[in-house]
Structure 1
Amino acid sequence: MQPEFWHERWSSHRIGFHRDAPLPLLVKHWPALDLAPTTRVFVPLSGKSLDMVWLAERGHRVLGVELSELAVRQFFDERGLVPDVHTTAAGTHHAAGPYELIVGDAFALHASVLADCAAVYDRAALIALPPDLRHTYAATAWRRLPAACRGLLVTLEYPQPQKNGPPFSVDADEVHARLDTDWRIDEIERRDILADEPGFVAEGVTALSTVVYRVERRS
């Protein structure tokens, strides 16, 4: 899956993955992480997610990374913010208020860029990637987060032969296989959501669950 795929999705406004409200599972489970309000949160493949706004409203600083410059521009425009823009080896940084969004490649972020991210929130990154790129993503962005970083990972599970991703099905065995070496992983909620996703039903999917994991980077 090449970057052009995502650029085309944004330019043609085929962004069914974008939600018009914060994810209820984030609202439910984030407070239990007991993070300091000023904690910086890494949001990979961030798009223009309103989850970032919810996190900022809790006092957090948000570091997002996103391939689509259009998505990043829309995020700031929709907040009425004019970001400062500068370029580094990581990509083009757009910063205003509590937000810093990098137009760049999450796989290529150096550990120094992520060094002060004491939290991570992945709702739509791991499940957006096919298996080979999930392996690369776990071995790069996730591995470069600092010790004791903690957060939430949200996945989907469904019979993969019934639908072409993205989003892809990523089951618990794969989550552990990708991340166990570096992370402590606890499943904290599993919810059947097929009735709430008519698009999946229309494609012939017969079972669909969302799963929330609490994750903490090992020392």
Structure 2
Amino acid sequence: MDEEFWQLRWRENKIAFHENQPNELLLMHFHHLGLQAGDTIFVPLCGKTVDLDWLSAQGLRVVGVEFSKQAVEEIFARRNLVPEIDVFGQYLRYRSGAIEVFVGDIFELSKDRLGKIDAVYDRAALVALPNTVRGRYARHVFDLAKGAPQILIAFDYDQRQMQGPPFSVPSHEIRELYDDLYAPELLASRAISGPLSERCNGSENTWLLKSKQATHSKNKWSE
């Protein structure tokens, strides 16, 4: 991953991917994760997304990881919180209430540091990565979360329209990346909207990733 690229984006405030309201697709499809108050959700490459606030308001413990210290500090500043900050291995860890965020490289993060994860929410992580890294990322997050279900939001557009990020990760690539790990289910597809629609035309796809073992058990009991 190109850490300096993302650090520069944050320093120059080139963060058009940031939304000021909870993501509409998260609100629409969150229930598919089947979470209960007290469960833990992992948000990789979380930036300063307000989705963290919404998730914590559902009674969840929310754990994120992010390269940019600036972004992490803004998460707590907008909530008027003074986080507890400690050195945790090679990370700085920011904590307050139900939100905990690690500052550093996601690929250096271990499941022992994260603890038990009940679900993953990926809105802007996979699509931020070049195709040479996505396979490693998909496997790493699967291992970190021990196969917990995921809501994944991805874009599908002609990559010749723009260089990215966010990159185009079409349906066939989602299946190539995750078929060995999950049974990917396309929950919804809609036209790309917002600032990104000014740069490209295509679809924004919401996926539910559940382990094949869990899917098989569900089908077995429903027979």
Q: Which of these residues, 194, 197, 215, is aligned with residue 194 of structure 2? A: 197
What are the residue-to-residue correspondences of 1:22-101 with 2, within 5 Å? 22-89=22-89, 91-101=91-101
Q: Distance in 1 between matches of 2:210 and 2:175?
A: 13
* CA RMSD of superposed structures (Å): 1.5
Show structure 2 runs of 5+ residues with no match.
Answer: 214-223
Asked if the contact 1:155/1:211 (under 8 Å) is kept, the reply is: yes
Q: Distance in 2 between matches of 1:38 and 1:90?
A: 27
Q: Distance in 1 between matches of 2:184 and 2:122?
A: 13
Deviations 1:26-68 (A, max 9, x none): 0011023221111100000000101111111111110000000
Match of 2:150 in 1: 151
**TM-score, normalised via structure 1 length:** 0.92
What are the residue-to-residue correspondences of 1:64-143 with 2, within 5 Å? 64-89=64-89, 91-143=91-143
Q: Which of these residues, 201, 209, 220, is aligned with residue 215 of structure 1? A: 209
- The 3-state SS of whatever aligns with 1:168 is coil
Asked if the contact 2:16/2:195 (under 8 Å) is kept, the reply is: no
Match of 1:169 in 2: 168
Aligned residues: 213
Q: Distance in 2 between matches of 1:60 and 1:184?
A: 25
Show structure 1 runs of 5+ residues with no match.
Answer: none
Percent of residue pairs bearing the same amino acid type: 36
Deviations 1:67-106 (A, max 9, x none): 0000001111111111111112251110001100000111
Greater mean alpha carbon deviation, residues 40-49 or residues 138-147: 138-147
- The 3-state SS of whatever aligns with 1:19 is coil
Going from structure 1 to structure 2, the CA distance change for 1:36 and 1:199 (only over 3 Å counts) comes to closer
Q: Distance in 2 between matches of 1:150 and 1:198?
A: 29
Asked if the contact 2:60/2:98 (under 8 Å) is kept, the reply is: yes
- The 3-state SS of whatever aligns with 2:169 is coil
Match of 1:184 in 2: 183
Match of 2:220 in 1: none
